[in-house]
Amino acid sequence: MERLKHDLVIVGSGIAGLRAAIEASRLSPGLSVAIVTKTQAMRSHSVCAEGGTAAVLYPELGDSVESHVFDTVKGSDYLADQDAVEKFANMVPSEIYQLEHWGMPWSRREDGRIAQRDFGGYSYPRATFAEDKVGFYEMQTLYDTCTKFPNIIFYQEWFATSILAEQGEFRGITAIEMKSGEFATIAAKAGIIASGGAGRLFSFATYGHSSTPDGMSMALRAGIALKDMEFFQFHPSGLIPSGILITEGARAEGGILLNKDGERFMKRYAPGKLELASRDVVSRAIITEIEEGRGFRDGDGLEYVNLDLTQIGAQRIKERLNGIREIAMKFNNTDPVEKPLPVRPVCHYTMGGIDVDIDGATRIKGLWAAGEAACVSINGANRLGANSTAECLVWGRITGGAAAEYAVKRSDSPPSDGQALKEEKRIFDEIFHGKGGTNPYAVRDELQRAMDKGAYVFRTGEGLAEAVKVVRRLKAEDYLHCDDSSRRYNTNLTNVLEVESLLLAAEAFLAGAVARTESRGAHARRDYPKRDDVNWLKHTLAYHTPEGVRLDYSPVKITRFQPAERHY
Ligand SMILES: Cc1cc2nc3c(=O)[nH]c(=O)nc-3n(C[C@H](O)[C@H](O)[C@H](O)COP(=O)(O)OP(=O)(O)OC[C@H]3O[C@@H](n4cnc5c(N)ncnc54)[C@H](O)[C@@H]3O)c2cc1C
């Protein structure tokens, strides 16, 4: 077992992780900061973000922070913590300018100022963008900036496996160096989990295949709850058949949704905002159209509706939506300049995550979580598009600053070996050298199918119970073994660990979803179609215990906006 040591260790090199590393280094240049990432840093899912980052930039033209707060709270179906949303909306604008100063090539208006486009659920066009590749440019800008700090050390293609904590205090993490297959402890005074979302719980997903809930499962196993995991976002426009995202920016630029009768059906569901109602509303409308026989069906039986961008015009599509044009041509053989695109709702975002407070702190002293892995919560039951990259920037900054301040004041207290040796034994003796008859990839596929079927846009108690049964059965199977016996780059081993994480997170998700007998935001129960504020205006907390999931609840912080019925 190799023993490494830093002051701060960050798991994840997406927007949240990189922003945290920069903030910690800016405040305390003497601090040794490690970024551990299972992919190459620039292959984190953040590079896929397409449409924009929400911020109030032009109050003089009619936008306001209060309006950003209200739109976000309304979008969340009133489950967001309003104090956190206020902090968020106040802090994002300076992040946009900060990125600009670090070199971010924001798209521009005619007058040279930063351009913004409309996005779902907003009452002002406040999505700041860079063509339709906002995540790629943000990641490039942050990565470039990280390289200016010699104290930031990247551990690329290192797979983190567990959190080391003693007497409720963070001590470090364990990880596998994938290149050599060596197991290591990375001792640190402070830690930040920024390991992204859990999107690969579903097979039809916009996420990269690396988006598995490893960090969430590390937190669960360390005794931290996952909050509001039953709230998963289904984005209205996943391209058939792969599920690759067609950004909401396409609808913001003038794209419309049509059913097989050529009807612009959103007029019936959201007469005010039409295609730019919040994502939960648009996704439910599409599924309803399909279920009522007004969808299309392709040769493989896949059902969809049309997203028509032809009226936007070739020039604007090439200028502002070139990325999705290329995707549509490569993956569906369709040029959106000429023909509508076939789309249906696709798993896109994890509203829930590691339970943290408004400053991103977990219940383990010295450990924070940020970005999509965390649940602060500003997104509640439904996130508005363009708020996630913004959240990653804001809580990357907050947690990076807090962790640095904490680490500077602490003296070294490295972890004792006991917990790490146990983890090494679990991974190498039990899994790497383990034997078993069940193919872990078949387990992953079956889990995804069960989630696609039981926990998609509309849910029922019966469907969820069926998914629970599948997860329980799969957990009991002997899939925790590795057929590839080589140590170097053993992705078979890390894939098995990912399947284990998926099953743990699925259990937490389903327990919360079965219990929540109401419909709120993205959690739409056919058997309980109404929102129930009397009983369910509260956050779900799911803990991992040897007997299974233990549920608890915590109150929602309401400051200015009393829950009201949502209309778009
Ligand atoms: C296709 C797509 C388009 C999107 N478009 C937008 C948009 O336009 N606007 C917007 O606001 N949001 C958008 N989102 C959402 C947003 O991009 C993400 O929520 C956000 O980028 C997540 O960033 P993150 O830093 O939390 O984590 P990620 O970028 O997901 O990175 C996770 C990191 O954790 C590391 N990691 C995970 N597990 C381990 C482990 N076991 N060991 C070591 N490292 C590990 C990974 O290697 C990676 O570096 C989009 C999402 C998708 C999927």
Cβ(282) – ligand 1 distance below 6 Å = no
Identify whether residues 247 and 202 lie together within a single domain: no
319 membership: H or E segment, kind and range: helix 314-320
Query: Torsion-angle region of residue 116: left (phi > 0), alpha (psi -120 to 50) or beta?
Result: beta
Identify whether residues 197 and 75 lie together within a single domain: yes
Instruction: Tokens for 146, please give them.
Output: 């990280």
Give the model's pLDDT for residue 543.
Answer: 98
Instruction: Tokens for 167, please give them.
Output: 């007497």
Residue 67 lies in a domain: yes
Identify whether residues 494 and 443 lie together within a single domain: yes
Which residue, 401, 356, 393, is CA-closest to 371? 393
Which residue, 551, 536, 426, 558, is CA-closest to 482? 426
- Asked whether the beta carbons of 539 and 554 are under 8 A apart, the reply is yes
Residue 562 lies in a domain: no
Q: Which of 134, 200, 388 to mutate to test the pocket of ligand 1 (most atoms within 8 A of CB)?
A: 388
C-alpha dist (Å) from residue 275 to 231, 271, 295, 540: 21, 9, 16, 30
Which atom number of ligand 1 is nearest to the Cα of residue 390?
Answer: 11
Q: Which residues pair with 196 in a beta bridge?
A: none
Verify whether residue 410 is a known catalytic residue: no
Residue 568 lies in a domain: no
Cβ-Cβ contacts under 8 Å for 94 (sequence gap 6 or more):
none
Cβ(215) – ligand 1 distance below 6 Å = yes
Residue 562 has pLDDT above 90, yes or no: yes
Distance 12 CA to ligand 1 centre (A): 9
Identify whether residues 524 and 406 lie together within a single domain: no
User: Which of 345, 366, 391 is where one domain is finished?
Assistant: 345
Residue nearest atom 44 in ligand 1 by C-alpha distance? 37
User: Which of 378, 412, 446 is where one domain is finished?
Assistant: 412
Mean pLDDT score, 97-120: 96
Mean pLDDT score, 514-540: 98
d(CA 494, CA 517): 36
Instruction: Tokens for 183, please give them.
Output: 């197991």
Verify whether residue 472 is a known catalytic residue: no
Mean pLDDT score, 394-399: 98
Give the model's pLDDT for residue 549.
Answer: 97
Residue 545 lies in a domain: no
Identify whether residues 157 and 249 lie together within a single domain: no
Which residue, 404, 384, 408, is CA-closest to 92? 384
Note the pLDDT tens digit of each residue in 205-261. 999 999 999 999 999 999 999 999 999 999 999 999 999 999 999 999 999 999 999
Residue nearest atom 50 in ligand 1 by C-alpha distance? 49
Give the model's pLDDT for residue 109.
Answer: 95
Identify whether residues 402 and 422 lie together within a single domain: no
Note the pLDDT tens digit of each residue in 25-46. 999 999 999 999 999 999 999 9
Of 19, 45, 68, 251, the active-site residue reads 251
* pLDDT confidence band for 95 (50 / 70 / 90): very high
Mean pLDDT score, 83-102: 98
Cβ(12) – ligand 1 distance below 6 Å = yes
Cβ(35) – ligand 1 distance below 6 Å = no
Distance 485 CA to ligand 1 centre (A): 31
Q: Which of 195, 347, 495 to mutate to test the pocket of ligand 1 (most atoms within 8 A of CB)?
A: 195
Residue 557 lies in a domain: no
Q: How many CB atoms lie within 10 A of CB 274?
A: 17
Identify whether residues 378 and 276 lie together within a single domain: no
Identify whether residues 426 and 405 lie together within a single domain: no
Give the model's pLDDT for residue 17.
Answer: 98
Distance 372 CA to ligand 1 centre (A): 7
Cβ(233) – ligand 1 distance below 6 Å = no
* pLDDT confidence band for 413 (50 / 70 / 90): confident
Handedness of CA 199, 203, 204, 207 (dihedral sign): positive
Helix/strand/coil for 180: coil
Residue 412 has pLDDT above 90, yes or no: no
Give the mean pLDDT of the chain: 97
Note the pLDDT tens digit of each residue in 263-321. 999 999 999 999 999 999 999 999 999 999 999 999 999 999 999 999 999 999 999 99
> What single DSSP character describes residue 339?
S
Give the model's pLDDT for residue 140.
Answer: 98
Residue 253 lies in a domain: yes
Distance 37 CA to ligand 1 centre (A): 12
Identify whether residues 219 and 317 lie together within a single domain: no
Identify whether residues 173 and 39 lie together within a single domain: yes
CATH number for the domain that contains residue 246: 3.90.700.10
Which atom number of ligand 1 is nearest to the Cα of residue 387?
Answer: 11
Provide, rounded to the nearest whole percent, the portion of the chain with pLDDT above 90.
98
Give the model's pLDDT for residue 434.
Answer: 94
Give the model's pLDDT for residue 53.
Answer: 98
User: Which of 412, 446, 463 is where one domain is finished?
Assistant: 412
Which residue, 514, 489, 559, is CA-closest to 88? 559
Residue nearest atom 53 in ligand 1 by C-alpha distance? 207
CATH number for the domain that contains residue 83: 3.50.50.60
Give the model's pLDDT for residue 518.
Answer: 98
Mean pLDDT score, 481-486: 96
CATH number for the domain that contains residue 498: 1.20.58.100
Distance 46 CA to ligand 1 centre (A): 4
For the chain, what is the domain count?
A: 3
Identify whether residues 75 and 145 lie together within a single domain: yes
Can you give the residue range of the structural domain that contains 205?
A: 2-104+123-231+349-412
Q: How many CB atoms lie within 10 A of CB 389?
A: 28
Identify whether residues 454 and 356 lie together within a single domain: no
DSSP string of 227-242?
ESTT-EEEEEEEETTT
* pLDDT confidence band for 362 (50 / 70 / 90): very high
Residue 115 lies in a domain: no
Cβ-Cβ contacts under 8 Å for 67 (sequence gap 6 or more):
56, 123, 124
Which atom number of ligand 1 is nearest to the Cα of residue 37?
Answer: 44
Residue nearest atom 33 in ligand 1 by C-alpha distance? 12
Residue nearest atom 37 in ligand 1 by C-alpha distance? 195
Distance 209 CA to ligand 1 centre (A): 11
pTM confidence score: 0.97
Of 68, 171, 235, 325, the active-site residue reads 235
Helix/strand/coil for 138: helix
Which atom number of ligand 1 is nearest to the Cα of residue 52?
Answer: 8
CA angle 71/18/198 to nearest 5° reads 60
Residue 52 has pLDDT above 90, yes or no: yes
Mean pLDDT score, 499-512: 98
Mean pLDDT score, 400-405: 98
Strands of 53-54's sheet, edge to edge?
53-54, 127-128, 116-117
Residue 548 lies in a domain: no
